[in-house]
Amino acid sequence: MNKAQIEHFFATLQAANPHPVTELEYSSVFELLVAVLLSAQATDVGVNKATRLLFPVANTPQKILDLGLDGLESYIKTIGLYHSKAKHLMQTCQMLVEQFNCEVPRTRAELETLPGVGRKTANVVLNSAFGEPTMAVDTHIFRMGNRTGLAPGKTPLAVELKLLKRIPPPYLVNAHHWLILHGRYVCQARKPQCWVCSVAMDCDYKSKTLA
């Protein structure tokens, strides 16, 4: 992809969805952090089903702690890896209470000190909650970065850094959501739906299939 193609690529996605948002359901920064932590190797649909029951009962760090480990697990047991996620979430809540006055920190470095929170999770929180121009490279964005020619790379970090460098600044804040949604519903892993893709004309993969 050249600069003109990248500009047209994101202008097209923006025109179709001017105000993209995460499909995870939340009403506070803390709820977003919990939802993202629970979403590793799980679907947003599955996480939302669990948090719709959890958040009305426990939507602050102290309330999560008050549930106890067994109590928390009873709400999230439908989510994959729920044992380890519950343990990490309890530890995270303890740190939020003791070190951050129950507030979710606003820097990547501080977020990554929380158990179960890696670079991707921190980037989602920074982007969705605080409007930072970060790029959380999940499986969809990693695939699209390589498949489309937008940001080829062998590791998520390599793709992330290239995306941040190549995406025009006006699109950076929302680019994370556009790419995830496009990868989830159109540029799918097994069979990309190029015949309905609005940005196919800018995509290296589409060009190769027509060659």
The pLDDT of residue 206 is: 66
Q: At residue 209, does pLDDT exceed 60?
A: no
* Catalytic residue, candidates 85, 120, 202, 206: 120
The predicted-structure confidence for 34-74, as pLDDT tens digits, reads as follows: 999 999 889 999 999 999 999 999 999 999 999 999 999 99
| C-alpha span between 80 and 71 (Å, rounded) | 17
Global pTM?
0.90
Where does the chain have alpha helices with state H? 3-16, 29-38, 44-54, 61-76, 82-99, 108-111, 119-128, 139-147, 156-166, 172-185, 204-210
Q: What is the CB neighbour count within 10 angstroms for residue 124?
A: 27
Cβ neighbours of residue 189 closer than 8 Å, sequence gap 6 or more: 139, 143
The predicted-structure confidence for 168-208, as pLDDT tens digits, reads as follows: 999 999 999 999 999 999 999 999 999 999 999 999 886 56
| C-alpha span between 175 and 194 (Å, rounded) | 20
The predicted-structure confidence for 94-143, as pLDDT tens digits, reads as follows: 999 999 999 999 999 999 999 999 999 999 999 999 999 999 999 999 99
> ∠5-152-185 over CA atoms, to 5°?
70
The pLDDT of residue 211 is: 45
| C-alpha span between 152 and 141 (Å, rounded) | 11
With beta carbons less than 8 A apart as the criterion, state whether 6 and 150 touch.
yes
165 catalytic? Reply is: no
Q: At residue 10, does pLDDT exceed 70?
A: yes
Domains located in the chain, CATH noted: 3-21+135-210 (1.10.1670.10), 29-128 (1.10.340.30)
The owner of tokens 């739906």 is 193
Mean pLDDT over residues 69-89, rounded? Answer: 95
Q: At residue 13, does pLDDT exceed 90?
A: yes
The pLDDT of residue 16 is: 95
138 catalytic? Reply is: yes
| C-alpha span between 5 and 2 (Å, rounded) | 5
* Catalytic residue, candidates 3, 49, 77, 138: 138
The pLDDT of residue 207 is: 58
